[in-house]
Structure 1
């Protein structure tokens, strides 16, 4: 497009072109390809729902029906979009369910009291269980370094680490997975 063709006062964005793009555009002009106006987005679909999208492309068409597209291609993963959309729907459903529940001050107070009582019961139960486990522990069949590693990685007592090793016949990986 020459300067004479641009109307006075028009907003024109000049995109700098590299050497390869300039050469390609010159060859396209020699081939007789015609530019198609009004296309806002071009997408190419690949296996696995992988989509390449070009926003605001320059599209040229030959007489035979082939197209040449110029623009910056960006990857648009359809699987990721679907997962994000499903997650948003689940969040909206959870919010709508929460809004439908009773939000009176009495109900909130009752929920808080039940939660605090539940935590106290769990803490007492855990302390009693740890005390019972720490009474009798036979570490002789396992290497102390293995036990130390499990205690360090999972932040549990030595007794729980030994018990997990016994449950998995000395397999450290499965013991770590059980305690994690």
Structure 2
């Protein structure tokens, strides 16, 4: 259990480090995309203090993210926004967006490229697109390169928007084509999947 908690903390800090730390305000431009009719009709939840996920639609100032199996809506025009990483024109279907609400402002990270960060102990943090999720492995696309990682009975999962909730790995909770963050040990065995 101690190992899982340490892994969770390492993953949480890895998310923060991977996404950068500079506060650069950018003007919010307007980008128009057609909003998928199916998304319009689906249940959309309000944004939480921390929201992260795959962009499923973006129209003018409204963005809808697929986050941990839920659709979450965010309106740039209705909130004070600071772009920490990326700019508004980077937002399009399929990219990864993280939004942190803090002191009345929303800090936005727009991530268009997957990342893999190795740690001194041989473990690694991977941010990429889920290609496959099976009982004994996950296949992650990191900028066009697919990497396979072993899943065991020790592997756990967390929601991007609720990092305190840890559960056993369950492939059925994961959606192919969505961004995930995976923490693996030195043997490429999955310790944690954040989805």
Relative to the length of structure 2, the TM-score reads 0.20
**Larger strand percent:** 2
**Larger helix percent:** 1
* Max Rg structure: 1
More RCO (CA 8 Å, sep 6+): 2
Relative to the length of structure 1, the TM-score reads 0.21
